[in-house]
Amino acid sequence: MRLKIVQAGEPVLRQTARALSADEIRMPAMRDLLAHMRETMRDTPGVGLAAPQVGLGVQLAVIEDRAEYLAGVSPEMLAERERSPVDYFALFNPKIVTYSDEAVEFFEGCLSVAGFSALVRRSRRVAVEYLDEQAEPRRIEASGWFARILQHEIDHLNGRLYIDRMETRTFSTMDNLGRYWKDRSIAEVRDKLDIGR
């Protein structure tokens, strides 16, 4: 069952989601919710989906960057973004415990800000502690695009959207991103839009 993705302006997207107990994580109803969130993420398609995006104020996100999503992306762009496939997994009560000092900037979009994109600066590497689907503690270290996805989804659980972090002069429709900026380097985009002068 595909879930409705709520859009910017919905109060749930601006609230801090509540943590889930181990018992709640292990409930059969949670398996159903995870299946619906995974289906919704894939159908949209997206690389991550947080519970607040489907109207639920709980600390849960699902992530998957499928190989097929990378098929039309040039090897140079994949290398620049440090992007490679990420197998599906769910995170409950995730916390970013370390951020790298090094930051990188790329265009981001969001299923809850449909049709738009902007440059967002994020840490290149992060370490995240979370509970898995059996409520077991886990830690993951990620870099590049995977680190960006984690930061984006965990922001959702803390009531933040990428538009809170974006370089405002780069805010664009997805059509115009494809028309004007998609194949340009970040330095070219910043120069053309007179950013950082």
66-105 pLDDT, tens digit each: 999 999 888 988 999 999 999 999 999 999 999 999 999 9
pLDDT digits (tens, 9 = 90+) for 154-190: 999 999 999 999 999 999 999 999 999 988 888 999 9
Would you state the structure tokens that stand for residue 71, as one six-digit string?
């098929």
Alpha-carbon distance of 153 to 141, in angstroms, equals 15
**Can you tell me the mean pLDDT for 130-158?**
98
The residue ranges of every structural domain in the chain are 11-104+123-164
Cβ neighbours of residue 175 closer than 8 Å, sequence gap 6 or more: none
Angle (CA) 52-17-1 rounded to 5° is 30
Catalytic residues, which ones?
A: 153
Output the CA–CA distances (angstroms, integers) from residue 70 to 2, 15, 28, 83, 94, in the order listed: 23, 32, 33, 8, 26
CATH superfamily of 11-104+123-164: Peptide deformylase (3.90.45.10)
**Can you tell me the mean pLDDT for 33-57?**
97
Phi, psi of 108 (to 5 degrees): -130, 150
> Is the dihedral angle over the CA atoms 31, 33, 34, 35 positive or is it negative?
positive
Res 102: pLDDT = 97
Res 197: pLDDT = 55
pLDDT digits (tens, 9 = 90+) for 106-126: 999 999 999 999 999 999 999
Res 183: pLDDT = 81
- How high does pLDDT run on average in the chain? 96
